Amino acid sequence: MGTEADQGHLQLAPESFLSTDLINEIQREGIDSGRRTLIRGAIAAATAAIAVPSVRAADDPDIVNLPSWTRSLGKPVVANPYGQPSPFEANIVRRQSPGLTRTDQSSVSFTPLQNLFGMITPSGLHFERHHQGWVDIDPRRHRLMINGLVKTPLVFTMEELLRMPSVSRIHFLECGANTGLEWGNVAVPTVQYTHGMLSASEFTGVPVSLLLERAGIDRQRAKVLLAEGADGSSMTRTINLENALDDALVAYGQNGEMLRPENGYPLRLVVPGVQGVSWVKWLRRLEVGDEPWATKDEAAHYVDMMPDGTHRQYTSIQEAKSVITAPSGGQKLLKHGYYSVTGLAWSGRGTVEKVEVSVDGGRNWRPARVEGPVLPKALTRFQYDWVWQGEETLLQSRVTDSTGYAQPSRAELIGVRGTRSIYHNNAIQTWRVGSDGEVHNVQLG
Amino acid sequence: MCSWAKGVFIALLWGTAATALASPVPEGVETLGRPATDTEVIAWDIDVRPDFLGLPPGSGDVWQGEETWLAQCASCHGDFGDSNEIFAPLVLGNITEDDIETGRVAALQDSAVTRTTLMKVATLSTLWDYIFRAMPWNAPKSLTHDEVYGLVAYLLNLGYVVEDDFVLSDSNIAATQALMPNRNGMSREHGLWSVQGEPDVRGSSCVRDCDVGDGCYFFPARLRDECARQSCRAGPRLGALPRVVDCAKQ
């Protein structure tokens, strides 16, 4: 304990870098440029506070002095009827971005991408985005109605839905506003806040196409679908029927168990490749229609502002995007030598074809290793071997998807869309590694 | 693709959705689920479309709307819908007669102007639908139809879209839609509706000695302009790193 070896090569981002006083002040006053500087200072202070011991023992006491767990009886089964993460992992939690919203019910908590492995997000770390708070619904009292342009409007109980033929599929779920804080300038320090409205799960449920067929969809007239929630906001979104019939699910399962309440228990819509707001939680109704509905979240919000003041409406698809999750902003490289640069890539239009990494700000690119199963509209993990000798480095990743679409640089993206949108920012992310090993979020301008 | 052709292309995408095939229903599955009763459908099918399909009959005037507003809405949105305390402002005095004439809110092009709901929203049905389904914040679906008509009338009056003596009803709501200040401000000409849509931005596939320019990185927003002013692109390109410096230290 307390040796340099314990620290490893990478000092993790000091996640609790904001003092309670500063968080309260930001919630009261919002973030202005002065407070951005404060936050930045707080990171530096928090980083400095984690001392790196310099003395290396000849013999590692954790090896030569057998620890208590090696010399005692362990705990019995069912000590935790529902298993929990180790207390040593207590820092790996969803976090709210101070100052982002003034209410905690219409707000966001972000997934700690910097700490996760593989291509699945633990259900308890799945980001949250609620519009009017979350609810916990008794599944025995939950119903799904299908109406509109169908032969027979139908009602299903949860029990009936669970008896129907089901499929399980792994898909990413990304909020349309993910990375939305970064359109105008660098705004947040870590990958949790820049890209943490992103997760991936195995979802289990009934294909929407089966339910619509069962209700007798009017194929001549049907063009769109309205999804509506059972919560107080009764969130509604217009869904492209083509997507819905292709691979959308009415899902009750997430990672092998029932959905978590924050993620829509007992029923949510899954629309692979489409932004999260369309994956309506606590789903109570699907209505088949022939014209879109222009609901609040497709007329006042989730509309993409273009440089000429026009808003793009019904933007839905999450285009190809990637991000390096480690090393990433707020972390610090403690030693020279080997690092496995790792991150995630995904595309709402298909599969990840290739991922490339640049260590010089996009001047030269080399292929990264794509890992594990490469599934359509799912997160794909990549790795890149890198030896750091202390030089200043600009780390970037770039994905190309199965349609041939290459992720744009920030300059390429804002060249078309300007900087005043909130939604669908899929620009290449840059992390600057300083000669001191500190990693910062930067934008090349 | 030139703009008219793009329009046709988008129209085709919107029009051909139903040609996709649905799954066959396995034998026995037809016994799961039951027909919804008319009363059940009425209880849940509360949505109102831009063509006002689904709008229940009723009416409310600006004064009734103000009364409901002060009792139910003002604590979050402010007496005049302009509060920025809890939610972004719904309405500020920045909609002009010209905007109402053209159906485009000119101030949306000005990045210094706070964007309000009434500046953005193109469809009157959106306001009616959302207020009825989700407001007030802590007691959604507690407003009567007439109260919602009154509230929408009050909001339009705050935005100078209708006069003080205006009465909004199911019979004049379509005519009132024609006054919405940003009714022509939305576009569906983009490739983000359909999986098959055409991307508007494409990244470079260059892998060696790519021209990425030089740059600076910045943190506080106010330094962005300074960065441009100080020409951060200066500096030699030696085929190594772009020259990247903290703008704040320049």
Q: What is the pLDDT of residues B142-167, one digit of tens each?
A: 999 999 999 999 999 999 999 999 99
Q: What is the pLDDT of residue A184?
A: 84
Q: What is the pLDDT of residue B212?
A: 82
Q: What is the pLDDT of residue B248?
A: 52
Nearest to residue B60, comparing CAs of B158, B225, B173, B139? B173
- The reply to whether B188 touches chain A by the CB within 8 Å rule is yes
Other CB atoms within 10 Å distance of the CB of residue B179: 15
Q: Residue A15: is its pLDDT beyond 60? A: no
- The reply to whether B108 touches chain A by the CB within 8 Å rule is yes
Residues of B in contact with A241 (CB under 8 A): 17-18, 20
Helix (H, G, I), strand (E, B) or coil at B86: coil
Give A175-221 pLDDT, tens digit per residue: 999 999 899 888 788 899 999 999 999 999 999 999 999 999 999 99
Contacts with B103 (C-beta within 8 Å, 6 or more apart), sequence order? B180, B181, B182, B183, B184, B185
pTM: 0.87
Residues of B in contact with A145 (CB under 8 A): 36, 40-41, 44
Residue A82: band (very low, low, confident or very high) from pLDDT cuts 50, 70, 90:
very high
The nearest alpha carbon in chain B to A409 belongs to B203
Instruction: Give, as one character, the DSSP assignment of residue A438.
Output: B
Listing DSSP states for A288-351 in one string gives EESS----GGGTTSS-EE-TTS-EE-S--B---EEEEEES-TT-EE-SSEEEEEEEEEE-TTS-
pLDDT averaged per 10 residues, chain B (length 250): 41 47 80 98 98 98 98 96 93 93 95 93 98 97 98 97 98 98 97 96 94 62 38 31 49
Side-chain half-sphere exposure of A344, counting CA atoms within 13 A: 29
B217 and A160 in contact by Cβ < 8 A? no
Q: What is the pLDDT of residue A101?
A: 80
Find where tokens 């707001």 sit. Answer: A277
Share above pLDDT 70 across residues of chain A, in percent, rounded to a whole number: 87
Q: Which of B3, B14, B23 is the best residue to mutate to test the A interface, defined by the most A CB atoms within 10 Å of its own CB?
A: B23
- Closest in B32, B47, B204 to A156, CB measured: B32
Nearest to residue A299, comparing CAs of A348, A362, A354, A236? A236
Residue A100: band (very low, low, confident or very high) from pLDDT cuts 50, 70, 90:
confident
Which tokens is B232 given? 């951060």
B20 and A405 in contact by Cβ < 8 A? no
A363 and B200 in contact by Cβ < 8 A? no
Q: Residue A411: is its pLDDT beyond 60? A: yes
B85 and A405 in contact by Cβ < 8 A? no
Q: What is the pLDDT of residue A329?
A: 87
Q: What is the pLDDT of residue A21?
A: 56
Using an 8 Å Cβ cutoff, are A278 and A286 in contact?
A: no
What is the C-alpha to C-alpha distance for residues B118 and B77, in angstroms, rounded to an integer? 13
Using an 8 Å Cβ cutoff, are B181 and B103 in contact?
A: yes
Which tokens is A340 given? 């496995």
Q: Which of A163, A278, A308, A319 is the best residue to mutate to test the B interface, defined by the most B CB atoms within 10 Å of its own CB?
A: A319
In single-letter form, the type of residue at position A261 comes to P
Residues of B in contact with A347 (CB under 8 A): none
What is the C-alpha to C-alpha distance for residues B130 and B139, in angstroms, rounded to an integer? 13
Q: State the smallest CA–CA distance between residue A405 and chain B in angstroms.
A: 6
Per-domain residue ranges for chain B? 46-177, 215-249
Note the helical H segments in B73-200: 74-77, 97-102, 117-120, 124-134, 145-158, 173-177
Nearest to residue B211, comparing CAs of B233, B228, B226, B232? B233
B202 and A406 in contact by Cβ < 8 A? yes
What is the C-alpha to C-alpha distance for residues A219 and B20, in angstroms, rounded to an integer? 9
- Closest in A292, A295, A440 to B129, CB measured: A295
Instruction: Give, as one character, the DSSP assignment of residue A89.
Output: G
Residues of B in contact with A146 (CB under 8 A): 33
Contacts with B118 (C-beta within 8 Å, 6 or more apart), sequence order? B81, B90, B91, B95, B155, B156, B158, B159, B161, B181
What is the C-alpha to C-alpha distance for residues A198 and A212, in angstroms, rounded to an integer? 29
Using an 8 Å Cβ cutoff, are A328 and A298 in contact?
A: no
Residues of B in contact with A40 (CB under 8 A): 219
A165 and B26 in contact by Cβ < 8 A? yes
Residues of B in contact with A400 (CB under 8 A): 205
Q: Exposed, middle or buried, A159 (CB in 10 Å: 0-12/13-18/19+)? A: exposed
Residue A321: band (very low, low, confident or very high) from pLDDT cuts 50, 70, 90:
very high
Q: What is the pLDDT of residue B236?
A: 28
Nearest to residue B50, comparing CAs of B191, B187, B183? B183
- The reply to whether B99 touches chain A by the CB within 8 Å rule is no
Q: How far apart are the first and last CA of chain B?
A: 43
When computed from its CA atoms, the radius of gyration of chain A, rounded to whole angstroms, is 23
Nearest to residue A22, comparing CAs of A5, A46, A50? A46
Give pairs for A261-265: CB < 8 Å, separation 24+.
Answer: A261/A134, A261/A135, A261/A136, A261/A137, A262/A126, A262/A128, A262/A130, A262/A134, A263/A123, A263/A126, A263/A128, A264/A229, A265/A136, A265/A137, A265/A139
Region A104-120 average pLDDT = 93
Give A127-137 pLDDT, tens digit per residue: 999 999 999 99
Q: Extract the runs of DSSP E, i.e. beta strands, from A351-392.
A: 352-358, 366-367, 369-371, 380-388
The nearest alpha carbon in chain B to A104 belongs to B86
A209 and B23 in contact by Cβ < 8 A? yes
What is the C-alpha to C-alpha distance for residues A109 and A134, in angstroms, rounded to an integer? 12
- The reply to whether B105 touches chain A by the CB within 8 Å rule is yes
B220 and A37 in contact by Cβ < 8 A? yes
Q: What is the pLDDT of residue B17?
A: 45
Q: Which of A150, A242, A349, A439 is the best residue to mutate to test the B interface, defined by the most B CB atoms within 10 Å of its own CB?
A: A242
Note the helical H segments in A196-260: 208-215, 241-247
pLDDT greater at residue A36 or residue A95: A95
What is the C-alpha to C-alpha distance for residues A427 and A289, in angstroms, rounded to an integer? 34
Q: How far apart are the first and last CA of chain A?
A: 44
Size of the A and B interface in Cβ pairs below 8 Å: 310
Side-chain half-sphere exposure of B26, counting CA atoms within 13 A: 8
Residue A332: band (very low, low, confident or very high) from pLDDT cuts 50, 70, 90:
confident
Using an 8 Å Cβ cutoff, are B239 and A361 in contact?
A: no
Helical pair B62-72 and B145-158, crossing angle rounded to 10 deg: 100
Nearest to residue B119, comparing CAs of B145, B101, B146, B92? B92
Q: State the smallest CA–CA distance between residue A112 and chain B in angstroms.
A: 22
B20 and A156 in contact by Cβ < 8 A? no
- The reply to whether B28 touches chain A by the CB within 8 Å rule is no
What is the C-alpha to C-alpha distance for residues B73 and B90, in angstroms, rounded to an integer? 11
Which run of H or E residues covers position B64?
helix B62-72
The nearest alpha carbon in chain A to B105 belongs to A309
What's phi and psi for B249, nearest 5 deg?
-95, 0
What's phi and psi for A376, nearest 5 deg?
-65, 140
Domains of chain A, CATH where assigned: 128-312 (3.90.420.10), 321-442 (2.60.40.650)
Give A370-383 pLDDT, tens digit per residue: 998 999 999 999 99
What are the helix and strand counts (H, E) for chain A? 9, 25
Residues of A in contact with B206 (CB under 8 A): 365
B36 and A147 in contact by Cβ < 8 A? yes
B residues 192..231 contacting A (CB < 8 A): 192-195, 197, 199-210, 212-213, 215-222, 224, 227-228
Helix (H, G, I), strand (E, B) or coil at A398: strand
Nearest to residue A168, comparing CAs of A371, A375, A352? A375
Q: Which CATH class is domain B46-177?
A: mainly alpha
